[in-house]
Amino acid sequence: MNEVAYAKINLALHVRRRRDDGYHELETLFAFVDDGDRLTATPTQADALTTHGEFAAKIDDPFGNIVAKALSALPHGKGWAVTLEKRLPVAAGLGGGSADAGAIFRMVERAHDLPEDWQTRAAKLGADVPACVLSRPCVGTGTGTDLAQVSDNDLAGCPVLLVNPRLPVPTGPVFAAWDRVDRGPMPTGSLRTIALEGRNDLEAPAIAICPTIADVLFALGDTEPFLARMSGSGATCFALYDSLVDRDAAAAQIATNHPDWWQMPGKLR
């Protein structure tokens, strides 16, 4: 079986408060790009994981990788030999590991069906994993694991450009640097409305830790998208365009001006 681990972006990310359990109360709008890591699974006698691709070297312990943990969390026969092509940067705000786990869940669903408590099992692997299993637009609340689908997806097929300066930004320090100011709830409405009227409360603390993120946002803004924003806790930023021509021109401009930055063009699912 083959599956794409679709890159996750947060069209909006509102941090409301820090909870007593140490986690943060969030309101976020998840969206997914039609590209990402690639996984292949073949039935075998025991689970095995092989990694390759541009960012495979960033995975320190393949056997402790979230893909291996996802396999352990689900019944899927005797075993699967999984090959992971790591095309998304690590610690990048794209839910790369969570997207990989989500792809495993979808492959298990195709082969054996998922257990009724799949969402609980997914949440134990990471807050973004349940959304990444669905890989379609949804609103996440709580720690991001309580999901509600968005009925008005007026951004389906929207051209998007992802850009990362090849600098990892760990999530923990960014949340720790949040100023604890509640700037209000996430708006309601269609995807486009929520995205345009929403914000990412982690942008400022992430920029304080990794100032290059501000350079990425400025460079994307210079390509005249209708929205440019940081995803998750960074450092990847995204830009949304009204046409493929505009997106491709932006990709060419970024590649010329910043050839050392990683980028991925795509469309929203």
Q: Which of 35, 37, 128, 201 is catalytic?
A: 128
Helix, strand, coil share (%) of the chain residues, nearest 5? 35, 30, 35
267 is catalytic: no
Q: Which of 8, 47, 100, 246 is catalytic?
A: 8
8 is catalytic: yes
Residue 248: strand pairing partners: none
| Close Cβ partners of 21 (under 8 Å, ≥ 6 residues apart) | none
* Closest residue by Cα to residue 171 from 65, 94, 87: 94
Report the chain's terminal Cα–Cα distance, integer Å: 21
3-state secondary structure of 243: coil
- Can you tell me the distance from the alpha carbon of 55 to that of 48, in angstroms, rounded to the nearest whole number? 19
Supply 157's token pair: 């097929």
Q: Which residue has 């610690």 as its token pair?
A: 91
| Close Cβ partners of 1 (under 8 Å, ≥ 6 residues apart) | 40, 41, 42, 107, 110, 111
- Can you tell me the distance from the alpha carbon of 257 to that of 166, in angstroms, rounded to the nearest whole number? 15
- Which amino acids are annotated catalytic? 8, 128
